[in-house]
Amino acid sequence: MKFRVERDALADAVAWTAKSLPNRPSVPVLAGVMLRVTDGQLGVSGFDYEVSSQVSVEVQGDADGAALVSGRLLAEITKALPAKPVDIAAVGAHLELVCGSARFTLPTMPVEDYPTLPEMPASAGTVDAAAFAAAVAQVAVAAGRDETLPMMTGVRIELNGSTIAMLATDRYRLAMREMQWRPDDPEISLNALVPARTLADTAKTLGPLGGDVTLALAHGGAGEGMIGFAGGTRRTTSRLLDGANYPPVRSLFPASHNAEARVTVASLNEVVRRVALVADRTTPVLLSFSDEGLVVEAGGTEEARASEAMEATFSGESLTIGFNPQYLLDGLAAVGSQNAVLSFVDAFKPAVISPAGDDGEIIPGYRYLIMPIRVTR
């Protein structure tokens, strides 16, 4: 194997592939990235039996072949190279990399020991890449991080006709985003529970590429239990989590509300951040709504307290409700609009944050539910 490639293209491809490699692989070869040159195309791939990543890059190929090298080491090296073309050649049990006056020799691992990458499942449809990336970011923030509850660490994707819905919850908050997409089958009805971290990393990478993302999801037969995403020259597959007993979380959204507040997202974000400086990790921030606006308060150890008033348009009976400050900030960051509407049933029931337009009307498509923390005053 021998080829020449542009440094930026190589660094991007290796960095993206190496990002999903395991820190402590069960077998050494899983820490490697596979470099395979065929007919002027370099394929860079990684696989840990759960997530596979593949990207192709145009190269000047002198000799076809394959080599398996440490992914993280190669990523660090390619990122640090000068902005010049890179010459790479497999020589015996080593990979030689030359860029300008920089020269590296890396040990290779046996190519024959590397597992075969899974095939992409059948295409289910396409969605705008930038819109998909934004939607995933809005939802993945609410996914759980406790690996002892694997079901909560996923994002549930529901494909129903021309609507795609994504939901995630860690039991203390719930995010849901609905958007339009272009299914291959107009009557499609499929659900999948995708690891949130994998989905977020994939969407963040594919979004800036523009164009469309292809969602590949099998229903029975080959590829079942996997989902695939393809955009540009990149594709990734991931195993699905077991979502057979995923709770009916949509029912958590209240059917009606008794009070509503309209706020400027940036203002509330700043106030909550300032006031929360005195709060312990388990201490809520208190939001007191009335006809006069909003007062945000928090108290910490050693009698440290903070409060700040801000403008808010409120309708309903006066209300004081407590929230985990980080969960509240996450929700405000995720709405993706300058204004937001906070809807309440009472101080002990879940509240819902929705994006709003300049006219104060709710923009449909996204909702972020947050459980209150009971407080005594």
Average pLDDT of span 338-356: 97
Exposed, middle or buried: residue 186 (CB in 10 Å: 0-12, 13-18, 19+)? exposed
> In CATH, which of 3.10.20.440, 1.10.260.40, 3.10.150.10, 3.20.20.140 is domain 253-370?
3.10.150.10
Task: Give the model's pLDDT for residue 359.
Answer: 92
- The percent of residues in the chain predicted with pLDDT above 70, rounded, is 97
Provide the sign of the torsion angle of the four alpha carbons 126, 128, 131, 137, taken in this order.
Answer: positive
DSSP state of 247: -
Q: What is the CATH number of domain 2-113?
A: 3.10.150.10
Q: Does 368 score more than 90 pLDDT?
A: yes
Predicted confidence (pLDDT) at residue 235 exceeds the cutoff of 80: yes
Of the candidates 235, 170, 209, 237, the residue with the CA atom closest to the CA atom of residue 371: 170
Res 90: pLDDT = 95
The yes-or-no verdict on residue 362 having pLDDT over 90 is yes
CATH number of this structure's domain 123-250, picked from the four choices 3.40.50.150, 3.30.360.10, 3.40.50.300, 3.10.150.10: 3.10.150.10
Q: Write the pLDDT tens digit of every residue in 9-46.
A: 999 999 999 988 988 888 999 999 999 999 999 999 99
For residue 225, pLDDT over 70 is answered with yes
Give pLDDT, residue 20: 85
Could you tell me which of 370, 310, 313 has the C-alpha nearest to residue 341? Answer: 313
Give 131-135's long-range contacts (Cβ < 8 A, gap of 24+): 131/179, 132/179, 132/203, 132/206, 132/207, 132/213, 133/203, 133/204, 133/206, 133/207, 133/208, 134/207, 134/336, 135/166, 135/177, 135/179, 135/203
Tens of pLDDT along 276-313? Answer: 999 887 789 999 999 999 999 998 666 789 999 999 99
Portions of the chain given CATH number 3.10.150.10: 2-113, 123-250, 253-370
Instruction: Give residue-wise pLDDT tens across range 79-115.
Output: 999 999 999 999 999 999 999 999 999 999 999 999 9
Cα first-last separation, the chain: 72
Instruction: Indicate if the alpha-carbon torsion angle 144, 147, 148, 151 is positive or negative.
Output: positive
H helix or E strand, kind and range, residue 138: helix 129-140
Top pLDDT among 127 and 24 is at 127
What is the distance between the alpha carbons of residues 21 and 273, in angstroms, rounded to a whole number?
Answer: 35
| pLDDT tens-digit readout, 128-187 | 999 999 999 999 999 999 989 999 999 999 999 999 999 999 999 999 999 999 999 999
- CB 332, CB 269: distance < 8 Å: yes
Question: Measured between alpha carbons, how far is 44 from 17 in angstroms, rounded to an integer?
Answer: 7
Confidence of residue 262 (pLDDT cuts 50, 70, 90): very high
* Residue 227 pLDDT > 70: yes
Q: What is the rounded average pLDDT for all residues in the chain?
A: 94
| Average pLDDT, integer, range 254-269 | 96
